[in-house]
Amino acid sequence: MNDAHVLTDRSDSRILQVTFNRPEARNAMTFAMYDRLGQIARDANADAALRAIVFRGAGGKAFVSGTDIAQFRDFKTDADALAYEQRISTVFDAVSRIRVPTIAAIDGSCVGGGFAIAAACDLRIATPGSKFGFPIAKGLGNCLAMTNLAGLVALVGAARATELLFTARLVAGPEAQSLGLIHEVAASDAFEARVGELAQMVASYAPLTLRAIKEALRRMRERMVPEGSDLLTMCYGSADFKEGVAAFLEKRAPRWQGR
């Protein structure tokens, strides 16, 4: 499967570079892009020579700005919502199960589904001006899947996760690091060099040790995830969600009704 919107490069045989390449839409993810990402993740586990993967966004304005909202226009039933969340949750799970270290190299906006991709990676490094957040309560009216919420809570704790979600605010690189959303901030002019250095470092370490650490942490996170399909259908099946999608596409403020 090939997708011009998700590019791969293997100039270094040990390190795979994956680029979300839709800069005209701030690298918003289409369903085809999610499917391609899942395939890359699964293929990585069959590649004995691979030692690390770096994920990045093209264009310098976004890592990934979330899911392409236009794809929600056709949602009509609860089944549509559940199928969507299952589809992308399967992709995020595949990324989290990649056997080698993964690095999210973030330069620009990293929100919603974009942060879910970054959170599925092992290390997150960003430029100072990069922005992070979950503005769904302000702009769209959907909700996080339980796996994504559990991942956020694992990083920053329940209290801080609540604050970020309730305020729908975006935080820049230095604050994101202090909260635990990312591991490191690198100056823009040193960013690429530092990403390369980090990738080379983890690629040189004992692969089975790193694999064991990754899998142990993934199993711990997995134990935090309860059932939540009722919450997904409540939000995605609501009139408010339809209004949020329409407002986003029409570039206006949504008019919430609570139903």
Convert the pLDDT of each residue in 206-253 to its tens digit.
Answer: 999 999 999 999 999 888 888 899 999 999 999 999 999 999 999 999
The segments of the chain whose pLDDT lies below 50 read 1
Q: CA-to-CA distance for 120 and 253, rounded, in angstroms?
A: 31
Query: What is the reported pTM?
Result: 0.94
User: What pLDDT sits at residue 110?
Assistant: 98
Q: Look-up: residue for tokens 């403020």?
A: 253
- CATH class of the domain defined by 6-188: alpha beta
List the chain domain ranges: 6-188
Dist CA 246 CA 244 (whole Å): 5
pLDDT at position 187 is: 97
Q: What does the DSSP 8-state code read for residue 103?
A: E
Could you give the angle at which helices 78-96 and 113-120 cross, rounded to 10 degrees? 30
Report the C-alpha gap between 1 and 247 in whole angstroms.
34
What does the angle CA 81 – CA 82 – CA 87 come to, to the nearest 5 degrees? Answer: 100
Q: CA 174 to CA 184: how far, in whole Å?
A: 8
